[in-house]
Amino acid sequence: MPAGELRTGEIVRDAFRRGKQVFVPYIYKLGGSAETKPSSIMEMLALRSLEDYESLQPDGWGIPTLDASSVAGRENCLGGNGLRGEDGALKGGDDCGLDFIVVPGMAFDHGRRRLGHGKGYYDRFINRYRSNVGKGQMPYLAAFCLAEQVLQPPEEVPVGEYDNLVDSLVVGDGRVVRS
């Protein structure tokens, strides 16, 4: 796990073998005042193939990352191609169709709460996705973690109103924590 991040390459390879469409996170800086909006945001953009995935270069966390020059031509899971922005026009309905999101975190509890890395990228994205699909189907949120990252009851991860619970924790010791 480079810099504390789970390697998901085998999950991506398996998804392509099964004919699934795979989207990966892309984080970029927003323009405007950081006082009223976040300074950067995350979008989920499509990989074209397994070869496309394997050609990605690692970022500072060791995570394979899309090259900025390829972003405009990539399908956005919220509709259209390229970046939508926090307040960008989004297409809902059948165009939104994520089934599964691997959600990272530093700590988790048995109530399926998570402590992210502090920037809110995944929670903001999940909330944008939820408002975009309306009553449509939300993707299954799974967090993969080590046993040492899971707090023991009665300890709980503190959460706020914009934080999202995951649907399950898949723990390195073989346990699966579900609702």
Please state the residue numbers annotated as binding site. Answer: 114-122
Q: What is the DSSP string of 18-44?
A: TT---EEEEEEEPPS-TTTS-SEEEEE
In angstroms, the CA 85 to CA 164 distance is 21
In angstroms, the CA 173 to CA 108 distance is 14
DSSP 8-state code for residue 167 = S
Would you call 58 helix, strand, or coil by DSSP? strand
In angstroms, the CA 107 to CA 150 distance is 6
Nearest to 53 by CA among 6, 96, 104, 10: 10
Q: Which residues are annotated as a binding site for ATP?
A: 114-122
Give backbone dihedrals phi and psi of 40, rounded to 5 degrees, phi first: -145, 165
In angstroms, the CA 166 to CA 114 distance is 8
